[in-house]
Copies of this chain bind each other. A is one copy, B any other.
Amino acid sequence: MTPDQPHAGGSPENGSQTGLEAGEEEKTTLQERVYRRLREEIMTGRFKPGRSVTIRGLADELEVSMMPVREALRRLVTERALTLKPNRRVEVPAMTPETFEELAESRVALERLAAARALAAAEARGETDALADRLEAIDLEQDRAIETGDWEAYLQKNLEFHFTLYGAADSRVTTPMIESLWLQIGPFLYLTRESLGVTYNEDRHKEAVAALRARDADALAAAIEQDVRDGMGSLPRDRLPFQSAARRLDP
């Protein structure tokens, strides 16, 4: 739909010529699709810290009007994926060592909880082994991604592993908070790759699966905690693209 057309709502002819994955499911609102699109781009690091984002700019780029972009941006700001500067301008937040530390600690606290809840929920439904099987399959695919050097797939499978586990608890409170944390860390991980090159970290996924099969909630939580700490703590702090360093990467 071109903005010149003075119509609204679910006009049947929209979608096919927008930049928003043409031919996809049209059931959702435009704002929702813009949101997902932006979220995806933020997560994969296409928006670099310090880049300022404008409503009209994105509206033109995505070939929609200002309204959906405006609401999507506001949503991302409340999720802290973007920040609202005092000027009312929106930009990709720069990472600081303090925030990084806090994100790691919050992830540990919440993901331990989510993992324990997932085990309890799966066990209550008698699906624990099935869940372990699924996680094991994902972990194998991740190993394959490492072998073939596919960094994107590696990160994707890591994300899939964690959220498959937490999804078993269908926690409508905890999971969204964890998602918000990932959303804040995501772009930084991709930046890290640019500045450090590809570094695959050892993970504790196999230990987690084993703990799950053993119905050992404490061991599961410990494995998840170690996994989070390994993933975020093993990065060389002094060479990470924090704040000022990040600006250097931005043309």
Contact = CB atoms under 8 A, between A and B. Distances in A.
Interface of A: 29, 71, 74-75, 78-80, 88, 99, 102-103, 105-106, 109-110, 112-113, 117, 171-174, 176-177, 180-181, 184
Contacts of A105: 113, 117, 174
A247 to B, nearest CB: 19
A176 B184 CA distance: 14
How many of these chains are in the complex? 2
B103 A109 contact: no
A75 B70 CA distance: 12
B176 A102 contact: no
Given A109-B109, A109-B112, A177-B177, A102 B78 contact: no
Contact of A173 (B29, B103, B113): B103
A184 B117 CA distance: 20
Contacts of A99: 172-173
